[in-house]
Chains A and B, each alone.
Chain A
């Protein structure tokens, strides 16, 4: 596009003048502007905005882009495409996260342990082998009808 090179993101700002220029470039206050730490990971001078999803923004304010809840020219989060309203949502929950995860994992682990124990130590009423009638289903299993089948008796008197 026709934007000049100094309007584009650049390397990490080292001097306070560079920080002020970068804050002005990104339409932010100098006090608000906080770049990502200079780890060499490739962020450059892009500002580090709070990790909040677009769900948390005011639904009643008249945004320039209402579906994105984003204003024209406002600096976008590095993970903006993750925080749109179709994807990740960081809205505060009614129950704290650590309580929810504790309840969930406790329940899941207890159920899994009990099912595992049930597999290792099965417990059911005593059973015996199944008894079939008609001399152990001699004719149905393909026995010769002219021959006398072997007598199978399942009871004792």
Chain B
């Protein structure tokens, strides 16, 4: 197809789970609209409020020994104690549970049983000697 316009560089790069788009190819870097600047100003306000709280605690002479980070506590809580209350059996979760829970078990049962049956058959036919600890291997 002669004369087709070149594809935008961001689409040629195809970022995925393992690499992100470089900032130079991202159109959001060159976006200077007032909406974006307002959003950036709000984010900066939140960040400076948090930084002020942190620095006040850090430079406080009568400060506690450990400055606990609520974000860290929330992260640890969400990953450990918030999983069971928010879990809900759906078709997807039931399938995943069966696949990850029962799948490897049944797979190894099948593999080990067929291997042992084959070995026992060979021993009965005389092609293989029964080893000393034949209960284990």
Contact = CB atoms under 8 A, between A and B. Distances in A.
Interface of A: 1, 3, 7-12, 25-29, 31-32, 39-44, 46, 50-52, 56, 64, 71-76, 78, 80, 90-93, 96-98
> Per DSSP, are chain A's interface residues mostly helix, strand or loop, or mixed?
loop
B92 interface: yes
B22 interface: yes
A113 B125 CA distance: 38
A97 B71 contact: no
25 contacts: A3-B70, A7-B70, A9-B77, A10-B82, A26-B74, A29-B46, A40-B86, A41-B93, A42-B82, A44-B86, A50-B20, A51-B20, A64-B51, A64-B54, A72-B51, A75-B74, A75-B75, A78-B75, A78-B79, A90-B17, A92-B13, A96-B12, A97-B15, A97-B16, A97-B18
Which 5 residue pairs of A and B lie closest in terms of their CB atoms, listed nearest first?
A40-B88, A42-B83, A72-B54, A92-B22, A44-B86
B69 interface: yes
Contact residue range for chain B?
35 or more
B92 A97 contact: no
Contacts of B75: 75-76, 78, 80
Contacts of B92: 39-41
A43 B86 contact: yes
A138 to B, nearest CB: 36
A72 B67 contact: yes
Contacts of B89: 40
A32 B43 contact: yes
Contacts, number: 121
Contacts of B43: 29, 32
B72 interface: yes
Contacts of A10: 82
A76 B72 CA distance: 7
A75 B71 CA distance: 6
Interface in B13-32: 13-23
A97 B14 contact: yes
A11 B71 contact: no
A26 B85 CA distance: 19
Contacts of B85: 11, 44
B122 to A, nearest CB: 27
